[in-house]
Chains A and B, each alone.
Chain A
């Protein structure tokens, strides 16, 4: 076993899952960095320095990817060898129409209504998360990918509403 070949889930010893406990992730992150951060190797030999720097980088990269829902799901797809051509944009006509309507609604509403719209969108995300959990257990990666893509759109909507 080489540390650098572990998946991020293995590195953090967290089960592969759509949602995870961010506090637990953070605790494990701090524990790993306490051991491998380059500052802990400032008086070490060159080999150790290089290796620690690589491991520390990987811990940071994993922390970043597992810490966010959509990047985490993208990563789950990746370790399950699911690939899709990035150049083919996500196609789902019904969803695109919904997005257009949503954008229009956001543009036409005043700030007071923002919180309600946000709530609605968050409910949609929550239901998609449930779907994704099923998709993962049944191995429907194609649908998992599509659901994750929809969440990315919803997150953009929320960002727009938070400005």
Chain B
């Protein structure tokens, strides 16, 4: 399709007739939505748009969303992408965890599950809801993640989706998704702050929006700061002040805290008659003030890093259920004196943005826009002495790549351990280790003579690939790795086979169908492109070659054999690679010569 876009972006054709959705996989609740032209649909479960991210065990069967079950786990998002070694960094006292393996497992019923498995259950449930409303299965999704999620947390989220056969169109940051929903709303332009205080995470992003381009300038956050922490403080406050509450089951105490917190978003004092407790707004604000201070500190850092003058910021967009707290609005108003936007529902605005982006990425949208996001946390390599040498700095626009050259520190050193880390601190013990690998076969040289080039590539989802190359010898050793975070291929395979309850036949049929769609898309794209510029860019021999490859693929399609189709499709792609490259070069030339500056922007 992009072949067509190069010549005329308006004439793109949607191949994707299947359902593409936006999913907000939240700490306390999750949403699934679809945008189709003017229509935005939130799929409801038991008449609720907000589907509690609670997983319960009912006689060995897992169900999602039952708020009253006493055999359940909640807020599983805080565990995703966290290894057993890092458990001390999060709050999990309400969960029964087994940390004997790389990934911690939660006890639920008679079984133990890791966070990826549990998240995939939620995702699967969301898709079933959409499916039951639409009578067609969810094919692909844009899934939102906290802006401050690190590589491990992003990889884990993507894997959870893939385990239940959801093709991830893109992972986008929650504040960015919210900005899309607000920005598309009335074609806003300017610089904006998104303040996103959710159930378990806090993010703040500074964006510029102009001419349909959403550009993230900086982002800051805390993946373990949110409404859950407020509830915990409130639980403690209640137990300290009302000793009779110690008898309550934790679910009841939790529900009581929620009731009081929600009541204080529009009242100055709130009482619960049944349990005979009350709290007024002043006490509550004092209680949560340290959390608010934390968010303000991060907000200030984000503003400084964005290099935008505070006077040039138009609005603060409020996102996340916890942003309803009165104290947040009044404090932001008082300090920054910037107009607050909160007319979109803070609980649903992220899912709305995700649904809008899903429509664009599936090629079905009329209104097109572009999202330019950044890497939230710096990526680096451990160097001698336990220090992190940054290779890609935070707030770099993605996709991005960078190289650094390292050397040996001992004479004749033949191996080098490469430890890839993420985080801002110099001291690597304060960073998260994403992957470790050993580069061997370094030629024996004096210390400092070997040159090992390490290349980092971050894709548009914010996911990292690392490759290393030894350059001094003629022989180049290249290793390419993707961080795996304790997810061995066996474990992944195991999780996929146990989670997948689809019949084998079903999967095969789906795979065949996908390969046919893929092939038809390739043929269509090439044929449309040929109509436009084959005369200018190809000679007769080259044209014949490409046409031959198209014919072969068309024959292969008749076979209905997946392997044959894939082979012929690969062949077409390889045969036409030079042509695609010529077209891209051509298109860049026309941009460079500047004749269409005003047409495009």
What A residues does B3 contact at CB under 8 A?
44-45, 48
Q: Is B170's CB within 8 Å of the partner chain A?
A: yes
Interface residues in A1-40 by Cβ distance below 8 A to B read 1-3, 6, 10-11, 13, 27, 30-40
- Residues of chain A from 32 to 90 with CB closer than 8 A to chain B in the complex: 32-48, 51-53, 55-57, 60-61, 63-64, 87
**Max chain A C-beta neighbours (<10 A), residue from B170, B399, B457:** B399
B597: interface (CB < 8 Å): yes
* Minimum C-beta distance from B22 to chain A (A): 14
Query: Known interface pairs A56-B399, A61-B400. Does A44 touch B1 (Cβ–Cβ under 8 Å)?
Result: yes
CB distance from A43 to the nearest CB of B (A): 4
Residues A40 and B396 in contact, CB atoms below 8 Å apart: no
Using Cβ atoms and an 8 Å threshold, which residues of chain A touch B584?
3, 36, 51-52, 55
When the two chains form their complex, are residues A31 and B361 in contact, meaning their CB atoms are under 8 A apart? Answer: no
Which residue of the partner chain, among A13, A30, A48, contacts B213 with CB atoms under 8 Å?
A30
Closest Cβ neighbor of A27 among chain B residues: B601
Distance of B356 from chain A, by nearest CB (Å): 12
At the interface with chain A, which of B114-122, B379-387, B585-593?
B585-593
A1 to B459, CA, bound (A): 25
Kindly supply a per-residue 1/0 record for chain A positions 100-125, scoring 1 wherever the CB is within 8 Å of any chain B CB and 0 otherwise. Answer: 00000000000000000000000000
**Cβ B170 vs Cβ A39 within 8 A:** yes
Q: Are A11 and B592 in touch, CB under 8 angstroms?
A: yes
Q: Is A60 touching B592 in the complex (CB atoms < 8 A)?
A: no
- Please tell me if the beta carbons of A44 and B2 are within 8 angstroms of each other in the complex: yes
| Bound Cα distance from A138 to B398, whole angstroms | 37
Chain A residues within 8 Å of B580, by CB: 45, 47-48, 51
CB distance from A92 to the nearest CB of B (A): 24
Chain B residues in 8 Å Cβ range of A45: 3, 518, 521-522, 525-526, 573, 580
Q: When A27-B601, A47-B580, A55-B584 are in contact, do A60 and B398 touch as well, CB less than 8 Å? A: yes
CA distance A42 to B518 in the complex (A): 12
Q: Which residues of B contact A13 (CB under 8 A)?
A: 591-594
Interface string of B434-459 (1 = CB under 8 A from A): 00000000000000100000000101
Cβ of A1: which chain B residues have Cβ within 8 Å of it?
Answer: 585, 589
Which B residues between 571 and 589 are near A, CB-CB below 8 angstroms?
573-574, 576-577, 580-581, 584-585, 587-589
Smallest CB-CB separation from B360: which chain A residue? A39
Q: Mark B368-392, 1 if CB is under 8 A from A, else 0.
A: 0011100000000000000000000
Q: In the docked arrangement, what's the CA distance between A13 and B589, Å?
A: 10
The verdict on B5 contacting chain A, using a C-beta distance below 8 Å, is: yes
Give, as a whole number of angstroms, the nearest-CB distance from A126 to chain B: 20
Quick one: given A34-B600, A42-B169, A63-B397, are A53 and B460 in contact (CB under 8 Å)?
yes
Q: How far is it, in angstroms, between the C-alpha of A57 and the C-alpha of B396 when the chains are bound? A: 11
Selected from A38, A42, A46, A57, the residue in CB contact (under 8 A) with B401 is: A57
Q: How far is the CA of A42 from the CA of B460 in the complex (A)?
A: 11
Q: Whole-angstrom distance from the CB of A17 to the nearest CB of chain B?
A: 17
Q: Are B16 and A43 in contact (CB-based, < 8 A)?
A: yes
Within 8 A of A (CB), among B491-527: 518, 521-522, 525-526
Docked CA distance A2–B215 (Å): 27
- How far, in Å, is B460 (CB) from chain A's closest CB? 4
Give bound CA distance, A10 to B525, whole Å. Answer: 29
List A contacts of B574 (CB < 8 A): 47
B399 touches which one: A10, A31, A38 (CB < 8 A)?
A38
Q: Are A48 and B396 in contact (CB under 8 A)?
A: no
A33 CA to B587 CA, complexed, in Å: 12
Provided the pairs A35-B600, A37-B370, A51-B584 are in contact, do residues A64 and B397 lie with their beta carbons within 8 angstroms? yes
Q: Which of B1, B2, B9, B15 has the most CB of A within 10 A?
A: B2
A30 touches B211 (CB 8 A): yes
CB neighbours of B459 from chain A (8 A): 38, 53
Across-interface contacts of B362 in A (CB, < 8 A): 42-43
Contact B363 A57 (CB under 8 A): no
A-chain residues with CB within 8 Å of residue B325 when the two chains form the complex: none
Over the window 347-376 of chain B, the binary record of Cβ atoms lying under 8 Å from chain A Cβ atoms (1 yes, 0 no) is 000000000000011110000001110000
Cα(A42)–Cα(B1), bound, Å: 9
Asked if B281 lies at the interface with its beta carbon under 8 angstroms from chain A, I say no
* Residue numbers in A under 8 Å from B170 (CB-CB): 39, 42
Residues of chain A lying within 8 A (CB to CB) of residue B597:
27, 31
User: Which residue of B has the minimal Cβ distance to A5?
Assistant: B585
| B6 beta carbon closer than 8 Å to chain A | yes
For B361, list chain A residues within 8 Å (CB): 39, 42-43
Residues of B within 8 A of A43 (CB): 1-2, 12, 14-16, 361-363, 521
Least Cβ–Cβ distance between B14 and chain A, in angstroms = 8
A33 / chain B contacts, CB cutoff of 8 Å = 213, 370, 372
Q: How far is the CA of A40 from the CA of B212 in the complex (A)?
A: 13
A45 to B1 CA separation, bound complex (whole angstroms):
8
Known: A34-B600, A44-B525. A39 touches B370 (CB 8 A): yes
Q: How far is the CB of A156 from chain B (nearest CB, A)?
A: 15
**B271 at interface (Cβ–Cβ under 8 A)?**
no
B429 sits at the interface (CB 8 A): no
Chain B residues contacting A40 (CB-CB under 8 Å) are 2, 5, 9, 370
| 7 CB-based A-B contacts, threshold 8 Å | A3-B588, A42-B170, A44-B525, A47-B580, A51-B580, A60-B396, A64-B400
Interface, chain B (partner A; CB < 8 A) = 1-3, 5-6, 9, 12, 14-16, 169-170, 210-211, 213, 215, 360-363, 370-372, 396-402, 448, 457, 459-460, 518, 521-522, 525-526, 573-574, 576-577, 580-581, 584-585, 587-589, 591-594, 597, 600-601
- List 14 additional A-B contacts (Cβ < 8 Å) besides A31-B600, A44-B3, A87-B448: A11-B588, A13-B591, A30-B601, A39-B460, A42-B170, A47-B576, A48-B525, A52-B2, A56-B460, A57-B401, A60-B396, A60-B400, A61-B402, A64-B400
The 8 closest A-B pairs by CB, nearest first: A44-B2, A41-B2, A43-B1, A13-B592, A42-B361, A57-B399, A38-B460, A60-B397
